[in-house]
Amino acid sequence: MKKILDLCFNPGEYSNNISLSLLFLRLIVGGFMLTHGIGKWMMLIGDGPIRFADPIGIGVTASLALTVFAEVFCSLFLIFGVAVRLAALPLLITMLVAAFIVHGQDGFGKQELPLLYAAILMVIAFARAGKYSIDQWIHQKWK
């Protein structure tokens, strides 16, 4: 159990400068991704027909729901620093699907932004949340 908690909630041991940098990165990326997700969430809960891509063949509604989960809920987890390593994974997968499947034939100009997000999300997943996060509070409670 301790290994699972450590994997999910260990914020890493960093200086204040690195922790502030991770906080800034989480706030910016989480905030930007959240702005993408809110419109999709409204589409998902709205009354109108769902018009969304089905890039991996699971159905339009399921594709939209997974994207909303990543771009809304996982973005909020990033912003607040909750289970950051786990929260970054659905966002990373969403960005890789956007880059290589949705925009696979569109060229680098359309792939560039999701690939940039993917790179930042990989850094966040490897680095963890830093001191200024709920992960830090949880980790101290269960240490």
**Per this entry, what is the length of the chain?**
143
Query: What confidence category does residue 7 fall into, taking pLDDT thresholds of 50, 70 and 90?
Result: confident
- Specify the pLDDT at position 1: 78
Q: What's the pTM value of the predicted model, to 2 decimals?
A: 0.94
What's the pLDDT score for residue 133? Answer: 98
Summarised one tens digit per residue, pLDDT across range 49-94 is 899 999 999 999 999 999 999 999 999 999 999 999 999 999 999 9
Q: How far apart are the first and last CA of the chain?
A: 12
pLDDT for 45 equals 94
pLDDT at 48: 86
Average pLDDT over residues 110-129: 98
Alpha carbon distance 5, 73 (integer Å):
20
**Contact assessment for residue 121 and residue 91, using Cβ atoms and an 8 Å cutoff:** yes
Angle between helices 108-127 and 16-45 in degrees, nearest 10: 130
Q: What is the pLDDT of residue 47?
A: 87
pLDDT band at 6 (very low <50, low <70, confident <90, very high): confident
